[in-house]
Structure 1
């Protein structure tokens, strides 16, 4: 069974991979994030590669090891929206997004060690998310829960703000933080099986 490392401490990415049957360990990237790109899809690809490479340099791993790096941002009318600085910033962001459509981009890097060399596959996924109109009172009540404070765009589609989502065009798991279907597709093209071995009860071990 392959040694798979998730270069992220995100509980949402951890849950998505676990539910998909992937057995992995977590090694959070602590490197400085340096952005040199301008387009959202290029930014997330750049940051996901940086995270994966930082972990690769910090951890001595054997051939066959897979490292998964990911980064998610929200874009609205050309503006990049990361995690909110404080509650006021979160309220301002959600007041801007309500009643409209924005984009969620996640960049993913698959690093595979072969003959002592790390080979990278990098891609980005985009999902359009549309919100119903939301009152400022409702936004303030949501922000007061503290839920949006560690999330790009100041909301979690799988959390309490999900009731205001009118629709999405694209991958749902991408909005959560990791486009699982695309991840498995890209891994399969590389001949990589991310899941563990399935036992006689249909469980992956």
Structure 2
């Protein structure tokens, strides 16, 4: 099984890249890029750990500070290249979403959370950083975009992890399969503009 630390750091890096890319598009300076990348990469995990009543990994292990730094530096030097790839932010955001719905759920299960609570915390880990990123950058959160499925792939991934964990089938293969499925689902939803029904039926006056 891939070490949870490795998956968590990869997810942190992917989300931090998306935060730094958004900072660059908003015209922030390098410090703003670092802070927004850190908030995006670490925010979801901090929320999860606070709910679980444990010291957040971001504060307990200094290595978690490395991915946001690397992300900010990469975006700084490669901004011209990534500017020519308009969907880069969404791709890295999808990668972070796919990994964090797994690690968030597994960490919750390892701390004794029941399956439903673990799934909820997995989704929270996956969408929390992106939500904080969008709010701080003064952008309409993707989480609440009626034309997006932002949380649905994370819900699917967290649910699958709970199932395979309960069946004692959690291993590197199921881990990789769930991550690939969530990422593919996220990319396809963007490509084909999938969305779920609105909270209320739209009523037009006669």
Question: Which structure has the highest helix share of the two?
Answer: 2
Bigger CA radius of gyration:
1
